[in-house]
Every structure is written in C-alpha cells, then in structure tokens.
C-alpha cells in the first residue's frame, strides 16, 4: 500500500514537472516581451520641435570605439573606395557561379540594381541603406546595411535606382554624395526592397498616410511642387536634382537650419553622455529612429540624416503636434516578432525583426569586436 502510494506521488510530481516545463517554454516569449527594457543604457532628451517635426536625441553614457570603420562618403572622397557600373572596373566575379573546370564566370553587363564596389582602404567599409552615389548611367542608393572588409574581392553591390529617366553617362564611376534619401524612400529600399516603389516614393514625396491628414494643413512639398521641379529642373527624375531644386531645396535648407540650431542648443553641455542617435516623430506620430554605436559615428552621418528627416517632414501634412516621450521610448525597445538574419563570417551580421507595422534592422560588426554599429527602427507606411 505504502509502495503504491509512493509510486503514485512520484508519478504526479513527474507529470507536474513535465507540464510545468512545457508551460514555461510556451509563455517565456510573452513574459520576456512584457518585461522588456530599452537596450543598452540609452535615454532620451526632451524633443527638439519645429513645425511638424519632433526629434528626440538619444544619449548614452558609454560609446564604442568605431574609429576603425570607414564611411562611404570618406572612402569615395579619398579614392580608397571605387564604385562603378558592373563590368567597368575590370572583371568582377559573381559569387557562387563557377564554370567548366572550376573557372569563375564573370558578368560584364551593366545592371540597374547592381554596381561594383572595391574597398582599397585599410579599414572595413560601412554602408547604410539609403546612401546615394551619384554618376554612372544613373544615380543609385545602397540597398542594405553591410560591411565590406579590408582586402575583399570586387563586390557585386545591390542598389536601387533613384534617377528613373537616365541610362547613359560620360563616366562609369560614381562620386561621393552628401545625401541619404528621406525615410519614405529608405523604407522602400531597406524593407520592401522593390524598385517600382522606390521610384514612386522619389516622385511623390512621402508614402505616409497620417490618421490626422483630413484636418491637417497641406504639405509644404506637395505633389504639384515635385512635379514642377521634375519638369523644369530634374527631367531625368534624379533624386538629388529634385530635392536640391529651387522649388524644393530652398524650403529644405531653411527647415534644416532651424532644426539644427535647436538641436545644437538642446544637446550642448552634456556631461558624461554622448548623443548616439535620434527618434523622429511627425505630427505627433513616432515614425523613425537611427542609433549608432558611438557619438563619433552619429556625428559623421548627422547632417545627411537631418536633411533626410526635413524632406520627409515637408512632404507630410504640417500638423503641429508633438509626440509623447513615452511613445518615443517605445522605439528603444526591441520588437518581438519574425526575425531574419544574414551573416558574413567574421565580418558582419544583419538582422531584421518585424512585428506588425514595426521593422527593426540592426547591423552588427563582428571584428575587431562584436558591436551593433547601426540600429534602425521604423513604423512602416506601406
């Protein structure tokens, strides 16, 4: 009798432990999400506001050493990085394609969505989605965040065209550009990755549809002003020429100057902290964030990023509302959703996590030590 009772108790305990473990495995993701804290030691400052934009500086008391990385603008300006049409920089191998007897196959034809990049620098090269390179047969933007290591073979580089009406040029080489396309175009390239949508976003301005649009004043960069700029100053629909034209660029310049003065004043005098990124809201709706591994890296991109945020603000309804700090802080949290990764061993790891309308893209450097060089979180518009 006692033995039977003992066996029964052991059986009950085993069942309880087994089902308890299964329950823990099932609920763990939800528990983690509920208690999730902002990553790192980031905190946000009060927003810098102007018209319909609110920019929350993201500061950190720690900063990684990112001096070993080269930016695309630096590399092109110095000549250490060469970007050219496919087939124009010598014979460039398409990875994974091998012909008879193991001889690599080479492709010499130009392509809308692929260029060739050579990194001759002694530093690994950092590329960000949305960076514009000008020249060749048409202007292009980088399709994806990535790192190009020192001594790499000529790289087939995925890009998107942002100059729909041109396929010719006196030179196959591309020059340095101080431009990152605005968020609506960056989203189509970095997340949706569709050429037609990239062209549409270039020509139409913002792809966002605000829930307040019906009661908001019209955008200062309207579809009519963009059409006028294209017909008179940018017949090839060049992104650079459209958004630097007299009909559009003047408004952008003024907007940038106003925001930059406010931003510099708000971030001056920080003690023991560095500005490493920003969270951006338009008309009360948090939409975008760019955060870097160091204050130095953020400063290298800041002027280009600010201009891109200004273009987006001017292309959205001019509703003057400010997002709450709590909503902005949510952009410091990691979405809990579907994850896709891409890795080049010993060089970088790229990941995308999507949850509902949120998309997080992170680029990790794996050498000289593992660090997240760039973190982009956006509220999708499409």
Distances (CA, A) of 32 to 43, 271, 329, 354: 21, 33, 17, 17
Distances (CA, A) of 119 to 39, 138, 326: 32, 21, 42
pLDDT at res. 37: 41
Token pair belonging to 317: 């309804």
pLDDT at res. 41: 85
Q: How far is the C-alpha of 153 from the C-alpha of 356, rounded, in Å? A: 38
Q: How far is the C-alpha of 334 from the C-alpha of 356, rounded, in Å? A: 13
pLDDT at res. 178: 87
Q: How far is the C-alpha of 269 from the C-alpha of 152, rounded, in Å? A: 42
Instruction: Report the Cα–Cα distance between both ends of the chain, in Å, rounded.
Output: 69
Instruction: Report the SS3 class of residue 262.
Output: helix
pTM, whole model, 2 decimals?
Answer: 0.84
Distances (CA, A) of 18 to 13, 28, 309: 9, 16, 53
Residue 236 near residue 164, CB atoms below 8 Å: yes
pLDDT at res. 366: 96
pLDDT at res. 218: 83
pLDDT at res. 171: 76
pLDDT at res. 129: 97
pLDDT at res. 177: 83
Alpha-helical runs (H) found in the chain: 2-34, 72-78, 183-187, 195-204, 223-233, 239-243, 249-267, 295-315, 325-329
pLDDT along the chain (382 residues), means of 10: 43 37 29 42 95 97 93 95 81 38 44 94 97 95 97 94 89 87 95 93 86 68 92 94 93 96 95 95 95 97 97 91 93 94 96 96 95 96 83
Q: How far is the C-alpha of 148 from the C-alpha of 137, rounded, in Å? A: 23
């Amino acid at each position: 009798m006692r033995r039977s009772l003992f066996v029964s108790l052991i059986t009950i305990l085993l069942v309880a432990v087994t089902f308890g473990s299964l329950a823990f495995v099932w609920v763990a993701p939800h528990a983690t999400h509920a208690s999730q804290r902002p990553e790192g030691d980031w905190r946000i400052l009060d927003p810098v506001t102007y018209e319909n934009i609110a920019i929350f500086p993201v500061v950190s008391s720690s900063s990684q050493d990112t001096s070993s990385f080269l930016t695309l603008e630096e590399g092109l300006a110095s000549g250490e990085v060469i970007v050219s049409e496919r087939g124009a920089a010598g014979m460039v191998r398409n990875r994974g394609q091998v012909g008879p007897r193991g001889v690599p196959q080479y492709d010499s034809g130009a392509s809308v969505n692929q260029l060739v990049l050579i990194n001759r620098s002694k530093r690994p090269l950092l590329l960000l989605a949305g960076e514009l390179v000008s020249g060749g047969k048409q202007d292009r933007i980088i399709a994806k965040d990535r790192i190009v290591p020192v001594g790499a073979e000529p790289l087939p580089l995925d890009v998107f065209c942002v100059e729909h009406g041109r396929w010719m040029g006196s030179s196959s080489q591309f020059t340095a550009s101080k431009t990152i396309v605005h968020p609506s175009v960056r989203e189509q390239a970095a997340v949706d990755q569709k050429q037609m949508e990239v062209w549409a976003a270039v020509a139409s301005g913002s792809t966002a549809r605000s829930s307040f649009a019906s009661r908001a004043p019209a955008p200062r960069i309207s579809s009519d002003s963009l059409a006028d700029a294209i017909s008179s100053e940018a017949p090839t629909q060049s992104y650079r020429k459209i958004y630097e034209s007299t009909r559009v660029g003047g408004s952008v310049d003024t907007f940038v100057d106003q925001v930059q003065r406010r931003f510099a004043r708000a971030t001056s005098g920080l003690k023991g902290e560095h500005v490493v990124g920003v969270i951006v809201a338009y008309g009360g709706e948090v939409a975008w964030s760019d955060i870097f591994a160091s204050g130095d890296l953020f400063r290298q991109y800041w002027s280009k990023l600010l201009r891109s945020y200004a273009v987006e603000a001017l292309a959205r309804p001019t509703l003057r509302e400010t997002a709450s700090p709590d909503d902005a802080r949510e952009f410091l949290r990691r979405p809990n959703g579907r994850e896709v990764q891409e890795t080049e061993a010993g060089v970088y790891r790229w990941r995308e996590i999507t949850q509902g309308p949120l998309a997080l893209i992170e680029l990790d450097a794996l050498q000289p030590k593992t660090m997240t060089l760039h973190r982009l979180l956006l509220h999708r518009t499409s």
